[in-house]
Structure 1
Amino acid sequence: MRVMLRAKLHRATLTGADLHYEGSCGIDQALLDACDILPGEQIEVYNVTNGARLSTYAIAEPAGSGRITLNGSAARHAAIGDLLIICTYVPMDDAVARAFHPRIALLDPDNRIATMKA
């Protein structure tokens, strides 16, 4: 059994942070759909700007909004404008892993998909 990258939003720009919200990472619904990430799904967030790394779960922001937000304690790990990498992983058998291709969305500065790799 191997744990493999399943989906990645590469170089997302943080657009909002709310320390007093319950928690989570808000992601534009169009990006969730493109990478097949579900609301409530565990995600890993890597802050390219400051090196912080954290685990949380995804929630949907309005489709087409370009919104990427960190909420609750996660808001302490980034500032608006920081570049983030957001990933999900999945365990799979070795044979499946060798043929598997993750969904990777390379984002522009407005959090729109510039290139999709799948």
Structure 2
Amino acid sequence: MKVQVVKSKIHRVKVTQADLNYIGSITIDEDLMDASNLIEGEKVQIVNINNGERIETYVIKGDRKSGVICLNGPAARRVAPGDLVIIIGYAYMDFEDAKSFKPQLCFPNEETNMLD
């Protein structure tokens, strides 16, 4: 049996941009992607702490050390720059393996979106 578990999480990061006219996705600073074990094109869930919205989209690589967190396309209507969000990646794995699996969690500075 397979179960879906949390694989990756960027906890409490500030939205820096919202671009309604882009095709779609979320742009994430590549340093944050590496720290949380997310890859370009991966499906993620974004949970907006400010308004409770939950959005599913996919990751686009942003410039390293930029701190960029940009919701693109229709998702841009669900956030505002300055909102705090949690970005979660999930994975399917064998039930027994999931019992001992430890997700890659990332806790950036809420003001700068940088890793301390």
TM-score (norm 2): 0.95
Q: CA RMSD in A?
A: 0.8
Pairing 1:103–2:104 present: yes
Pairing 1:9–2:10 present: yes
Match of 2:49 in 1: 48
Cα offsets for 1:40-81 (capped at 9, x unmatched): 110100000000001000001100000100000000000000
* Worse-superposed segment, 71-80 or 90-99: 90-99
In the aligned structure 2, how far is the partner of 1:24 from the partner of 1:107?
21
TM-score (norm 1): 0.94
Structure 2: runs of 5 or more not aligned: none
The structure 1 segments of at least 4 consecutive aligned residues displaced by more than 4 Å after TM superposition are none
Partner SS state of residue 41, structure 2: coil
Letter in 2 for 1:6: K
How much has 1:112 moved relative to structure 2?
1.4
Pairing 1:71–2:72 present: yes
Partner SS state of residue 6, structure 1: strand
Identity of aligned residues (%): 40
Q: Give the count of matched residue pairs.
A: 114
How much has 1:35 moved relative to structure 2?
1.5
